[in-house]
């Protein structure tokens, strides 16, 4: 049984077991990564419809070919200062399973960066930074060359009903 | 058998269930002594087609049972027997029974025959009471396999046009084969020269020898449908032909002598109408049944989701018309595209594009409407339910259905049915009093249960009202204390106490009946409705009655909306809830309580809700005299919404905001406007709650809005 699993993995990843692909993006000069399989598409920023009384990081709702998709500003979600949206600003549309429900949401980030293949075990545990709320959203840290990439736990980032990691 | 009958099973079941529904509805219309022949005929026809169909497909249990039913109906139809209440009850029960049988067959289970046999016996008892002939026929058919069997000689000589009438002799033959030992001979002497041969005509004729214990009537019944299209002779041969092989030999006597030799059953010229001897036919039927089983096995899992809907032919026709228009417009546009571009062709192009936009919108709206069905599909089951339940409870009930044509999405409808059944049963059992109690209270002995459906905003609202005794708040309170749901010291309003009936494990019924009272009810109802993103509320007045209100969002509905502007944002107010829109006369605005402004409008005080305030938008006009007030009504309360401007009115398609986001207070959904942007639809009753005008769960507004002079007379 175990052998079979290994064979499958080898077939899938061409010999390099346990590697996952991550899409990375820039935000506040840091590089963040998310599982590329969750990404549906990447779009330029366009004005959205404000949802009344929503948390400040929810920019509003957008029409994605007939589906109403909420747009979340990741900077604000992490409590980083907002900046003016520019030509590089993109919306990464992701599809994530949140509590038995598949939800499609858009994340506004400064710019997309790269795609890396990263072995799961290389992801380092998050150092104990108790004073930061954002640790809650982080799945792990990984070094790619000279850079450090923060891998995000999308389920937690996008679970809006969970208030534990929120600022303000 | 060359035709795989199992492919028609689905259609058969669907039609039969529809037939049963029709029977049920008509039976409920029947009043003994006042029956009209059209109603009886409708019931008879439904029963007859179920019998015919089930016979064709070899569902003997169903066809046998419907046969007795049909016999009774036939006698009533012919006026040989007068309809009694007992008949109606029995017929209704048999509708259920057949439904059960068909359901079991559809799920390829072995149908439980005990109920049908019992009912059949009762039918036979009724039939036997008067007609001796009938008794003989029936009892012979059902009980006596061992009775002396008779051999019949059947000559079946169809007219050439038999096939064109849609009759398939093969089915009749296999039905014959079911009756007993069957011997077939086919004659092909009628086949003309090849040049004159018309492949669609029937040139064959047959002779059968059937040894059966069934009466002659059973045989003639098989040929019932082709009586006019064929020459049929059925004669008993006595015990002459004990041996079937002898029988074939013997028929070539006088009459048959000038006929050519009977061809064998495997004759090539008639591959699709070949007749087969009995045992083989049996095998075939068994094989078909097996096929059904296997087919059903694979389908089983899909059954629950892949259902079909019936769409009115007018809806389809209008769709076809629209597609036609679309095609014409498209042709026009491509023609313009081929021409050289001149000023006039640009104008024509623009016109064409407008036309195209118009066509597309019409088409889109109509396609959306196809999924919408009138709620009468759910309501239609209640007359029966109320009738049965009220008989069981010895109560007199009148059921009123209002707003049956209210349309809602099919998926919602399916899930709505069970909670509604529960609520109606509750109203009958707990709500309505017995006739004696009602008379004692000075009420009409006949209680009324009203089902009312209507659209309100983006919701469909279904009210289940009874004029019974209402909820007994004291009893609910003491029960809740006894069950530990609340404590003695809790000070609850009447509404809050009434809300308690939705708590799990709560029942105030003194005795547990099989109708309701096990305490697993209302919480399940609420849960089911909440699962549809809906809500259920109760209002009640002791001695006057209670009303349960189910509110469900129209998941896939179209709504007439009024677009309004608040600061830079566009919202949609459901047109149906708008009473009027007006400019505010400041002199009639006064402040009450904690800064709440009310406008005196004619004889009413309308609280003013500033939308920009509730939705926390910046940059809206705040001066009352520069804005517009949209007066809306919800739950019988009127409120005024302050907006910057009124924009267009248009139909919008409601989209869920919750699917990818979460519930937003005061917003019932979203839609996409013509320019592709998202606009939010305002939920009036949610807005009232959000604004703090009303306590949750309460139906009264916190502020006493109806001043003394506005008191309703």
CB contact under 8 A, B664 and A52: yes
Q: Which residue has the tokens 């957008």?
A: A62
Strand arrangement, sheet containing B230-236: B180-187, B205-212, B150-158, B230-236
Q: Is residue A71 part of a domain?
A: yes
- Is pLDDT above 80 for B16? yes
- Is pLDDT above 60 for A79? yes
- Min Cα separation A45/chain B (Å): 13
- Is pLDDT above 50 for B72? yes
Which residue in chain A is spatially nearest to B676 when comparing CA positions?
Answer: A63
Which residue in chain B is spatially nearest to A49 when comparing CA positions?
Answer: B678
Q: Is residue A18 part of a domain?
A: yes
Which residue in chain A is spatially nearest to B690 when comparing CA positions?
Answer: A53
Condensed to tens digits (0 to 9), the pLDDT of residues B17-36 reads 888 888 888 888 777 667 77
Please, which residues bridge with residue B670 across strands? B655, B680
- Is pLDDT above 70 for B182? yes
pLDDT averaged over every residue in chain B: 75
pLDDT at residue B272, rounded to an integer: 43
Condensed to tens digits (0 to 9), the pLDDT of residues B354-382 reads 888 888 878 877 887 787 788 888 888 88
pLDDT at residue B248, rounded to an integer: 43
pLDDT at residue A5, rounded to an integer: 58
**How would you class A152 by CB atoms within 10 Å of its CB: exposed for 0-12, middle for 13-18, buried for 19 or more?**
buried
3-state DSSP helix/strand/coil % of chain A, to nearest 5: 20, 45, 35
Q: Is residue A118 part of a domain?
A: yes
- CATH 3.30.70.260 applies to domain B150-290: yes
pLDDT at residue B83, rounded to an integer: 77
- Smallest CA-to-CA distance from B573 within B666, B454, B461 is with B666
Quote the domain boundaries for residue A17: 2-158
Binning pLDDT at 50, 70 and 90, where does residue A42 land?
Answer: very high
Binning pLDDT at 50, 70 and 90, where does residue A25 land?
Answer: very high
Q: How far apart are CA B278 and CA B183, in angstroms?
A: 7
Rounded to a whole number, what is the largest CA-CA distance in chain B?
112
Q: Considering chain B, what percentage of its residues have pLDDT values greater than 90?
A: 5
CB contact under 8 A, A61 and B667: no
Q: Is residue A139 part of a domain?
A: yes
Q: What tokens were used for B451?
A: 């089902």
CB contact under 8 A, B661 and A52: no
- CATH 3.30.565.10 applies to domain B558-710: no
Please list every residue in chain B whose beta carbon sits closer than 8 Å to the beta carbon of residue A47.
677
pLDDT at residue B471, rounded to an integer: 80
Please list every residue in chain A whose beta carbon sits closer than 8 Å to the beta carbon of residue B676.
63
ipTM over 0.85: no
CB contact under 8 A, B664 and A67: no
- Is pLDDT above 60 for B305? no
pLDDT at residue B555, rounded to an integer: 53
Question: Per residue in B289-314, is it b (16+ CB within 10 Å) or e — as a string?
Answer: beebeebbeeeeeeeeeeeeeeeeee
User: E strands, B524-613, where?
Assistant: 535-541, 545-553, 558-566, 569-574, 578-583, 589-592, 596-601, 604-610
Q: How many independent structural domains does chain A possess?
A: 1
Please, which residues bridge with residue B206 across strands? B156, B186
- Mean pLDDT over B308-317 rounds to 80
Nearest to B667 among A52, A60, A105 (CB): A52
pLDDT at residue A91, rounded to an integer: 93
Binning pLDDT at 50, 70 and 90, where does residue B260 land?
Answer: very low
CB contact under 8 A, A49 and B666: no
Q: Which residues of B are catalytic?
A: 48, 70, 426
CB contact under 8 A, B660 and A62: no
pLDDT at residue B257, rounded to an integer: 42
Which residue in chain B is spatially nearest to A52 when comparing CA positions?
Answer: B615
Which residue in chain A is spatially nearest to B615 when comparing CA positions?
Answer: A52
pLDDT averaged over every residue in chain A: 80
The one-character DSSP state at B466 is E
Nearest to A105 among B614, B660, B678 (CB): B660
Q: What tokens were used for B89?
A: 């009850």
Q: How far apart are CA B454 and CA B577, in angstroms?
A: 12
pLDDT at residue B141, rounded to an integer: 40
Q: Is residue A63 part of a domain?
A: yes
CATH code: domain B5-143 is 1.20.120.160
Residue B416 belongs to what H/E stretch? Answer: helix B410-426
Condensed to tens digits (0 to 9), the pLDDT of residues B542-581 reads 888 888 998 886 655 667 789 999 988 999 998 878 889 9
Q: How far apart are CA A23 and CA A74, in angstroms?
A: 15
Nearest to B655 among A47, A58, A68 (CB): A68
Q: DSSP assignment of B30-52, as one string?
A: --TT---HHHHHHHHHHHHHHHH
Binning pLDDT at 50, 70 and 90, where does residue B65 land?
Answer: confident
- Is pLDDT above 50 for B240? no
Condensed to tens digits (0 to 9), the pLDDT of residues B476-535 reads 888 788 777 777 777 777 777 887 788 776 665 554 444 544 445 777 788 778 767 677
Identify the architecture of domain B374-553 in CATH. Answer: 2-Layer Sandwich (3.30)
Q: What is the CATH number of the domain that holds A78?
A: 2.40.50.180
Structural contact between residues B184 and B156, judged by C-beta atoms closer than 8 angstroms: no
Chain B interface with A: residues with Cβ < 8 Å: 569-570, 614-617, 655-657, 659-662, 664-667, 670, 672, 676-680
pLDDT at residue A107, rounded to an integer: 92
- Mean pLDDT over A36-52 rounds to 91
Please list every residue in chain B whose beta carbon sits closer than 8 Å to the beta carbon of residue A60.
678
Q: Considering chain B, what percentage of its residues have pLDDT values greater than 70?
A: 79
- Is pLDDT above 70 for B3? no
Q: How far apart are CA B150 and CA A137, in angstroms?
A: 87
Q: Is residue A166 part of a domain?
A: no
pLDDT at residue B457, rounded to an integer: 61
CB contact under 8 A, A49 and B679: yes
Q: Which own/partner contact pairs does B322-330 have at CB distance under 8 Å and 24+ positions apart?
A: B322/B359, B322/B362, B322/B363, B322/B366, B323/B363, B325/B359, B325/B362, B326/B356, B326/B359, B326/B360, B326/B363, B329/B355, B329/B356, B329/B359, B330/B356
Q: Is residue A109 part of a domain?
A: yes
């Amino acid at each position: 049984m175990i052998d079979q699993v290994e064979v499958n993995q080898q077939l899938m990843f061409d010999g390099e077991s346990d590697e996952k692909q991550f899409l990375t993006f820039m935000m506040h000069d840091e590089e963040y990564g998310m599982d590329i399989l969750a990404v549906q598409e990447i779009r330029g920023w366009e004005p959205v419809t404000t949802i009344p009384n929503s948390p400040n990081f929810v920019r509003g709702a957008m029409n994605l070919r007939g589906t109403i998709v909420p747009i979340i500003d990741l900077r604000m979600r992490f409590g980083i200062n907002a900046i003016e949206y520019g030509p590089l600003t993109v919306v990464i549309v992701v599809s994530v399973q949140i509590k038995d429900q598949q939800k499609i949401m858009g994340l506004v980030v400064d710019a997309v960066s790269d795609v890396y293949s990263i072995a799961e075990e290389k992801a380092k545990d998050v150092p104990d930074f108790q004073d930061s709320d954002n640790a809650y959203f982080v799945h792990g840290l990984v070094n790619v060359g000279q850079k450090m990439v923060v891998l995000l736990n999308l389920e937690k980032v996008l679970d809006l009903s969970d208030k534990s990691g929120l600022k303000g | 058998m060359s035709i795989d009958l199992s492919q028609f099973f689905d259609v058969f079941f669907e039609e039969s269930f529809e037939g049963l529904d029709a029977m049920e509805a008509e039976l409920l219309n029947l009043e003994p002594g006042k029956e009209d022949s059209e109603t009886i005929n409708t019931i008879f026809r439904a029963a007859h087609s179920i019998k015919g169909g089930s016979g064709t497909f070899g569902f003997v249990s169903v066809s046998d049972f419907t046969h007795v039913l049909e016999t009774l109906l036939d006698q009533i139809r012919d006026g040989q027997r007068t309809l009694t209440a007992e008949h109606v009850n029995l017929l209704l029960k048999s509708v259920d029974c057949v439904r059960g049988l068909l359901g079991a067959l559809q799920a390829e289970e072995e149908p439980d025959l005990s109920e049908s046999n019992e009912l059949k016996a009762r039918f036979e008892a009724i039939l036997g009471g008067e007609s001796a002939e009938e008794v003989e026929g029936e009892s012979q058919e059902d009980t006596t396999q061992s009775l002396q069997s008779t051999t019949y000689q059947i000559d079946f000589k169809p007219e050439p046009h038999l096939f064109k009438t849609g009759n398939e002799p093969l089915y009749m033959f296999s039905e014959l084969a079911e009756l007993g030992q069957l011997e077939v001979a086919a004659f092909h002497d009628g086949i003309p020269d090849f040049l004159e041969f018309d492949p669609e005509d029937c040139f064959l004729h047959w002779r059968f020898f059937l040894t059966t214990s069934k009466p002659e009537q059973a045989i003639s019944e098989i040929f019932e449908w082709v009586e006019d299209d064929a020459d049929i002779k059925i004669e008993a041969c006595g015990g002459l032909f004990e041996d079937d092989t002898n029988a074939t030999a013997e028929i070539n006597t006088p009459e048959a002598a000038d006929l050519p030799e009977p061809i064998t059953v495997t004759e090539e010229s008639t591959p699709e109408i070949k007749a087969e001897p009995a045992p083989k036919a049996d095998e075939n039927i068994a094989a078909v049944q097996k096929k059904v089983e296997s087919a059903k096995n694979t389908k089983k899992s899909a059954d629950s989701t892949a259902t079909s809907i019936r769409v009115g032919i007018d809806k389809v026709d209008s769709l076809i018309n629209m597609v036609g228009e679309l095609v014409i417009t498209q042709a026009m546009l491509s023609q313009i595209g081929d021409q050289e571009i001149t000023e006039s062709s640009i104008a024509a192009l623009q016109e064409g594009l407008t036309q195209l936009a118009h066509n597309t919108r019409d088409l889109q709206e109509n396609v959306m409407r196809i999924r919408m069905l009138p709620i009468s599909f759910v309501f239609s089951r209640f007359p029966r339910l109320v009738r049965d339940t009220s008989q069981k409870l010895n109560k007199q009930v009148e059921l009123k259905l209002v707003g049956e044509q209210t349309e809602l999405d099919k998926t919602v409808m399916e899930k709505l049915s069970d909670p509604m059944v529960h609520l109606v049963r509750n109203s009958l059992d707990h709500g309505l009093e017995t006739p004696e109690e009602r008379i004692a209270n000075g009420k009409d002995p006949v209680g009324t249960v009203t089902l009312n459906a209507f659209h309100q905003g983006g919701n469909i609202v279904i009210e289940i009202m009874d004029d019974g005794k209402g909820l007994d708040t004291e009893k609910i309170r003491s029960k809740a204390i006894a069950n530990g749901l609340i404590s003695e010291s809790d000070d609850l309003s009447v509404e809050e106490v009434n809300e308690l009936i939705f708590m799990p494990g709560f029942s105030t019924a003194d005795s547990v009946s099989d109708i309701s009272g096990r305490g697993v009810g209302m919480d399940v109802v609420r849960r089911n409705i909440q699962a549809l993103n809906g809500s259920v509320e109760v209002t009640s007045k002791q001695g006057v009655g209670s009303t349960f209100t189910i509110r469900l969002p129209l998941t896939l509905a179209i709504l007439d909306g009024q677009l309004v502007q608040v600061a830079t944002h566009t919202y949609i107010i459901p047109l149906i809830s708008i009473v009027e829109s007006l400019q505010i006369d400041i002199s009639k605005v006064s402040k009450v309580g904690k800064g709440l402004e009310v406008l005196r409008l004619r004889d009413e005080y309308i609280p003013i809700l500033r939308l920009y305030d509730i939705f926390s938008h910046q940059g809206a006009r705040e001066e009352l005299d520069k804005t517009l007030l949209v007066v809306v009504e919800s739950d019988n309360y009127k409120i005024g919404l302050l907006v910057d401007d009124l924009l267009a009115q248009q139909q919008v398609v409601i989209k869920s905001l919750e699917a990818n986001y979460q519930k937003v207070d005061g917003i019932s959904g979203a839609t996409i406007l013509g320019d592709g942007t998202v606009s939010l639809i305002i939920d009036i009753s949610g807005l009232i709650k959000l604004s703090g005008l009303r306590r949750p769960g309460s139906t009264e507004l916190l502020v006493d809005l109806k001043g003394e002079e506005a008191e309703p007379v």
